[in-house]
Chain A
Amino acid sequence: MSGTSLVTARERALAVLGGEPDDATLGRYLHGIPGVDAVGLEQRAAGLGTRSIKTTSKQRALDTIISLIDLTTLEGADTPGKVRSLVAKAMTPDPSDASTPRVAAVCVYGDMVPYAVDALGAAHGDPDDGLISVAAVATAFPSGRSSLEIKLADTAEAVAAGADEIDMVIDRGAFLAGRYGLVFDQIAAVKEACRRADGTSASLKVILETGELVTYDNVRRASWLSILAGGDFIKTSTGKVQPAATLPVTLLMLEVVRDWHLLTGQRIGVKPAGGIRTSKDAIKYLVTVAETVGEEWLVPHLFRFGASSLLNDVLLQRQKMTTGHYSGPDYVTID
């Protein structure tokens, strides 16, 4: 769970770009990327969504989904009690079945990080070791409309409170205005702010908010930009804007991640978030990941679902598979 070192990230960006990451160079580079075939992309995504996953494959898929969930609460009405119950659910998603895996992380606002860390106790750690991370949204989430100083302070505070992962939002206004250098610098600065006193660094997820980027071409450019600037993960949405995560957008981002891996050998994570509410939808994403970047991406440090209600639906499906009859919402906890 150690983020990529900054020096290599910047050097790599310079090597790929062939110059300083200013507006002109980035603009030239990003606009040189071939456009997206929207019809082809949507057809491919629709095709991947038709796979039939049944019986033991489905059981495995459901467990994989749970282990990849960032269980999220991002409401104005969040209380320490709400965060504690969210953590309890993350640690024991289904009290009636001890074989249920834990989720990968809990995702909360920065000021709720201490309560999450406290509630997790010994269960706090790397999801690759079966423990649960704490992810915090930062940088004036969800709009991203504030000064860089405030964004950096927001980030540093969450990291100091014990957050293992930072979900930052890009400045969509600057991106749409073509100020790619500014967006790049902000991501790089936030990445720097993720560094802890002991030299390790919190993992950085960069939220593109694809619903506000309007076109697939923009999503592809923003993905490249975020990866070049040092993001460890690219994330579709805040969940506050419609449309949030869609299968075509996630497929497109996975394709960028695949191309980046071919180019540099570095593995970047992808996190679709918002609007994924059913097991059926989530399984489509698993298929898309496996078919686009390979099954080795289906691990917590390379793929996550940002979701809150998805977990309950997966638990209901799981109960159906173990008991043989349909379960109901009375048999899962309301978080």
Chain B
Amino acid sequence: MTRLAVPKTYKLYIGGAFPRSESGRTYEVLRADGAFLANAAKASRKDARDAIVAARGAVASWSGATAYNRGQVLYRIAELLEGRRAQFVAEIEEAEGVSRAAASAQVDESIDRWVWYAGWADKFAQVAGNANPVAGPYFNISVPEPTGVVAIVAPQDSSLLGFVSAVAPALVAGNAVVVVASERFPLSAISLAEVLATSDVPKGVVNVLTGSPAEIAPWLASHADVNAIDLVGAGALDWISLEIDAADTLKRVLRPESGPDAAAPALGRISAFTETKTVWHTKSLR
């Protein structure tokens, strides 16, 4: 007896929930050979707005957690990813049309990269911060603090690795993120969101939008409640005007990168989304 397959509709991930797009729109995600693979939600500007509200609400608790705790929570995600390897490998194989070995390699690399960033959570402040020498009996200490809400246009030519490479570093310092997944390969991003939803990451810390980056990115870039925007995957968009929009509200901006080394692991991707706070303190009152 033949069985009718039940295709999954991939939804958005906003504030810890999986809503459909407020607009009701979906779009078809195709395999590499052009056949139908799944339906994904096509996010609207209002979904982006809701995601930013959710992210803003999550900043206080996520940035307020101890660095050690954030590291543990991020590491836990890598553990969960490992447990769902087979699903991610199958998804990448289908969506990108690559060999099982290549898909496996991408998942391995994603998990390793996640672990690498998780490890930095309670270490980057030692590297990015400083005890400054000053001409007086004072401690003068600079520490990196999260900038707040970071909007990300994820790399467009990769299912999982690009997404992980852009999202993980922004989370390390304690930022909450709103990320627009790859338009062609959005499924792994939503599957990762399902991992996040069942991990210890507080709701709203990661919000995933699928759909057209060209449509959503301008709203993210001009939104006054976004503190930084990572345009790593926006190379095909009019990213200069996005940068101009972002400048209106003094956002930090990372520019597009392309090729297999896009968003390569670097401490700079963590410190790009931090603000440096410098405090003075008397050395002693002798």
Chain A CB within 8 A of B252 CB: no
Complex: chain B residue closest to A319, CB-CB: B224
Residues in A neighbouring B245, C-beta threshold 8 A = 325
Please report the C-alpha to C-alpha distance between residue A280 and residue B191 in the assembled complex, in whole angstroms: 32
Cβ of A330 within 8 Å of any chain B Cβ, yes or no, is yes
Q: Report yes or no: B219 in contact with A327, Cβ–Cβ below 8 A.
A: no
Contacts of A329 in B (CB 8 A): 56, 225
Q: B219: which A residues are within 8 A, CB to CB? A: 325-326
1/0 per position for A317-335, CB-CB distance to B under 8 A? 0000000111111110000
Interface code A246-265, partner B: CB below 8 Å = 1, 0 otherwise? 00000000000000000000
How far apart are the CA atoms of A330 and B224 in the complex, in Å? 8
Q: Tell whether, in the assembled complex, residue B222 and residue A325 are in contact, meaning their CB atoms are under 8 Å apart.
A: yes
Task: Point out the residues of chain A lying under 8 angstroms from B248, CB to CB.
Answer: 325
Asked if residues B225 and A328 are in contact (CB atoms below 8 Å), the reply is yes
**A216→B226 CA distance, assembly (Å):** 44
Q: Which residue of B lies closest to A325 (CB)?
A: B222
Give A326 to B224 CA distance when docked, in angstroms. Answer: 6
CB contacts (< 8 Å) of A325 on chain B: these are 219, 222-224, 245, 248
List residues of chain A with CB within 8 A of the CB of B56: 328-329
Cβ of B149 to closest chain A Cβ, rounded Å: 9
Q: Is the interface of B mostly helix, strand, loop or mixed?
A: helix
Minimum CB–CB distance from B260 to chain A (whole Å) comes to 35
**A286-335 with Cβ < 8 A to chain B:** 324-331
CB proximity to B under 8 Å, residues A160-176? none
Q: Smallest distance from the beta carbon of A95 to chain B beta carbons, Å?
A: 16
| A331 to B223 Cα, complex, angstroms | 11
Measured between beta carbons, the chain A residues less than 8 angstroms from B224 are 325-328, 330-331
Distance between Cα atoms of A329 and B222 in the complex (Å): 14
Tell me if B49 counts as interface (CB < 8 A to partner A). Answer: yes
B167 adjacent to chain A (CB < 8 Å): no
Q: Check A330 against B225 for contact (C-beta < 8 Å).
A: yes
CA distance A330 to B52 in the complex (A): 14
A328 to B49, CA, bound (A): 10
**Bound form: Cα–Cα A331–B249 in Å:** 11
Q: Which residues of B contact A326 (CB under 8 A)?
A: 49, 52, 219, 222-225
CB neighbours of A324 from chain B (8 A) = 222
* Complex alpha-carbon distance, A328 and B148, angstroms: 12
Alpha-carbon distance A329/B52, docked complex (angstroms): 12
A325 to B223 alpha-carbon distance, docked (Å): 6
Which A residues lie within 8 Å of B52 (CB)? 326
CA distance A331 to B224 in the complex (A): 8
Q: What B residues does A328 contact at CB under 8 A?
A: 56, 223-226
In the complex, A204 Cα to B219 Cα: how many Å? 46
Report how far A194 CA is from B245 CA in the complex, Å: 55
Bound-complex Cα distance A328 to B178 (A): 15
Q: Which B219-255 residues have a C-beta within 8 angstroms of A?
A: 219, 222-226, 245, 248
In the complex, what's the smallest C-beta–C-beta distance from A295 to chain B, in angstroms? Answer: 28
Enumerate chain B residues within 8 angstroms of A327, measured Cβ to Cβ: 224-225
Which chain B positions have C-beta within 8 A of A330?
224-225
* Distance to closest chain B CB from A61 (angstroms): 17
Measured between beta carbons, the chain A residues less than 8 angstroms from B225 are: 326-330
The CA-CA distance from A324 to B245 in the complex, in Å, is 12
Closest to B222 in A: A325
**Interface-central residue, A325, A327, A329, A331, by most chain B CB under 10 Å:** A325
- Chain B contacts with A in 80-110, Cβ cutoff 8 A: none
Measured in the bound complex, the distance between the Cα atoms of B112 and A192 in whole Å is 76
Cα distance, A241 to B114, chains bound together (Å): 46
- Of chain B, the residue at the smallest CB distance from A324 is B222
CA distance A327 to B224 in the complex (A): 5
The minimal Cβ–Cβ distance linking B229 to chain A, given in whole angstroms, is 13
- Docked Cα-Cα span, A327 to B222, in Å, equals 9
Interface residues of A in 20-75 (CB under 8 A from B): none
Question: How distant is B250 from chain A, measured CB to nearest CB, in Å?
Answer: 11
Contact residues of B between 45 and 64, Cβ < 8 Å to A:
49, 52, 56
CB distance from B47 to the nearest CB of A (A): 12
User: Can you give 13 A-B contacts (C-beta < 8 A)?
Assistant: A324-B222, A325-B219, A325-B224, A325-B245, A326-B219, A326-B222, A326-B223, A326-B224, A326-B225, A327-B224, A328-B226, A329-B225, A330-B225
What 9 A-B pairs are tightest by C-beta distance, nearest first?
A328-B225, A325-B222, A328-B224, A326-B223, A327-B224, A326-B49, A331-B224, A326-B224, A325-B223
Interface residue ranges, A against B (CB under 8 Å):
324-331
Residues of B within 8 A of A (CB): 49, 52, 56, 219, 222-226, 245, 248
Given known contacts A326-B224, A328-B225, what 18 new A-B pairs fall within 8 Å (CB)? A325-B219, A325-B222, A325-B224, A325-B245, A325-B248, A326-B52, A326-B219, A326-B222, A326-B223, A326-B225, A327-B224, A327-B225, A328-B56, A328-B223, A328-B226, A329-B56, A329-B225, A330-B225
